[in-house]
Structure 1
Amino acid sequence: MSDYKHGEMDISVQEKTFEGFTKSVAYGAVFCICVLIFMGLVNG
C-alpha cells in the first residue's frame, strides 16, 4: 500500500479556490436578488 498519512498534504491552493468559489456564488446571489428587486420596482 501507499505511505498516505491523513492531514499531511498541502491544501492551500484548494482552500483559495474554494474561498474564491464561495465569494463568487455569494456575489452572484446578491446580484440576482438586486436584479429581481429592480425588475419588481420598474414593472410595478
Structure 2
Amino acid sequence: MADHSEVAYTTADGNDYAEHEATYEGFIKLVKYGSASVALILILMAIFLT
C-alpha cells in the first residue's frame, strides 16, 4: 500500500501562498461588491418599474 502520511500539496514546489491569499481577497471583494450591485439594481427596479 502507498504511504499517505504526508499531504503532497503542502510540500509541493512552487506553492505561492501570498498570491493565493491575494486572489482569495480579490474574489471576496468581487462577491461583496457584486452582491451589493445586484441588490441596488433590484431596489431601483422595484422603485421605478412599479
Question: Does the TM-score normalized on the shorter chain lie above 0.5?
Answer: yes
For the pair shown, which has the larger CA radius of gyration, 1 or 2? 2
> Is 1:17 matched up with 2:28?
no
Q: For 1:1-44, what aligned pairs fall within 5 Å after superposition?
A: 10-44=16-50
Task: Provide runs of 4+ in structure 1 moved above 4 Å.
Answer: none
Please report the RMSD computed on the Cα atoms of aligned residues, expressed in angstroms. Answer: 2.5
Aligned partners of 1:29, 1:11: CA distance in 2, in Å? 27
Structure 2 unaligned residues grouped into runs of 5+ = none
Per the TM alignment, residue 43 of structure 1 is displaced from its structure 2 partner at its CA by 1.4
Aligned partners of 1:20, 1:37: CA distance in 2, in Å? 26
Aligned partners of 2:26, 2:32: CA distance in 1, in Å? 10
Structure 1 unaligned residues grouped into runs of 5+ = none
